[in-house]
Chain A
Amino acid sequence: MRVITHHTPDAMLAAYAAGNLPYAFAVVVASHVSLCEQCRAALEAHQMIGGVVLEETGAVGVSAALKDDILAQLDAPFTPEPVFERTGAYPGPVMEALKGRPIRWKTLGMGVRQDILSADRNGSVRLLYIPPGQAVPDHGHNGVELTLVLQGSFQDETGRFGVGDLEVADEALEHTPIAVEGEACICLAATDGSLKFRALMPRLLQPIFRI
C-alpha cells in the first residue's frame, strides 16, 4: 500500500468527531480515515478528548422510569445496521452513500464523468472519473473543496495526489487538476459551496450538472 502524504486537517477531524461537518464532508473524511492509519489514530485521539469532556460534564439526574424503560428493551428484537464493505476502489462510506445502488456515471464532456451521491444546500459529494491525461476545467471555489483519490492519481499547481491522498482546496486556490497518464483517476469530491469555473461554458452548465 502506498504511503499517504496528504491528510485530513486536524480541525476537520475534530469537527468530524463532534459531528459538526456537513454530510458531504463527513463522507469524504470517513472514507479517508478508512484508508489512512495515521488519520484513524488522530481521530481516536479526538474521540478520547471528547470522552474526557463527557466524563467531566456535570451530571444531571435522570428520571426513575428511564432505567426501567431501557432495561425492558434490552431483549427487544432490533435490526442491526447494515455494514457496507469496501468494494474495489470504493471504501465502505462510499458504498453506504450509494445506498446499495450501482454507480451511474453521467458524462460531463471530454471523457470526464460524475455520479452525484448527495447534493443539497449544505454541499454536495460526488464521484468523478477523469481519463488519463485529462484536465478538469480550471476552477475556483465558493467554499472548501475536498478531493480524495480512490484510483489513479492527479496533479495540480499544489502537487501530486495518489490513492488515499486528500486535497483540501479553499477559496484562495484556483487550480486545474490533471489526471496523470496511465490509469483513469477516480476521486471522491465534496464541496460546501458551488465551484466557480473560469471558462464560460462550464459556468453556464453549472446549474445543469449541479457542480
Chain B
Amino acid sequence: MIAVRDTRDRSAFVKLFDHFAPRLKGFVMRSGVSSHQAEEIVQDVMLTIWRRASTFDPHRAQVSAWIYQIARNRQIDIARKENRPMPEELKEEPGSASDASQILGVEQESVYLKQALAKLAPEQREMIEKAYLGELTHQEISAQTGLALGTVKSRIRLGLERLKHELKDLKP
C-alpha cells in the first residue's frame, strides 16, 4: 500500500488487488447483491483506493481498516446515491517522520483483535459481523453486541495514545 501511495507502483497495486478484490467481492455479496453488481462495486472501491492512496496513513490505520471504510462508504453511496459525510482529515505536518514503532503497534493490535474475535462464541461473532456489514441499527448494536463488542474493543488500547503522539507532532 505504501508503494502504491508513494511511488504509484502498479505491480504493488496488482498485489493489493489480488489480495483484496476477492475478499471485497465476498464481503459485498453478503449484503445480498449479485455477483455482477458486486464486481461493479469492487471496481469502484479499487479505483477509489488508487485515487485516494495519499490519504492512507499506516500510523493510524491498518490497510484492511482503511479499505473497509472505503468499501462501506462506496457501497452505500452507490445504493443511496448520496455522499456519506466524512470527518475532517487530520492535517499532518509535511515531512513529519514516520514512526516504525507506531506502525508496528497498529499491526499488533489487529493480531490481538483477530484473536479476540476468534474466541467469541459463534453467535456473538455473527452479531459482530452483522454490525460491521451494516445490518444492524445503532440501537440493535447497543442491545445485541454490547458485551461482545466491549471484549473485542478492549484489545485496542493504543488508539488514543497513537492520536496524542500524532497531535504532538502537529504545528501549534
Using CB atoms and an 8 Å cutoff, list the residues of chain A in contact with chain B.
Answer: 9-12, 14-15, 17-21, 23, 25-27, 29-31, 33-34, 37-38, 40-63, 66-67, 69-71, 73-74, 78, 80-81, 83, 85-86, 91-93, 96-97
Contact = CB atoms under 8 A, between A and B. Distances in A.
A23 B81 CA distance: 12
Interface centre among A30, A34, A61, A70 (most CB of B within 10 A): A70
Given A18-B72, A26-B85, A80-B51, A11 B167 contact: no
B101 interface: no
Contact of B72 (A19, A69, A86): A19
23 contacts: A11-B149, A12-B138, A14-B149, A15-B137, A18-B72, A23-B85, A25-B138, A31-B85, A34-B87, A41-B160, A46-B153, A48-B61, A49-B132, A51-B61, A51-B67, A52-B114, A54-B23, A54-B71, A56-B117, A57-B30, A61-B25, A63-B39, A67-B14
Q: Is the interface of B mostly helix, strand, loop or mixed?
A: helix
Contact of B69 (A50, A61, A92, A97): A50
Interface in B113-150: 113-114, 117, 128-129, 131-139, 141-142, 145-146, 149
A60 B25 contact: yes
Interface of B: 10, 13-14, 17, 21-27, 29-30, 35, 38-39, 42-43, 46-47, 50-51, 60-69, 71-73, 75-76, 82-90, 109-110, 113-114, 117, 128-129, 131-139, 141-142, 145-146, 149, 152-153, 156, 159-160, 162-164, 167
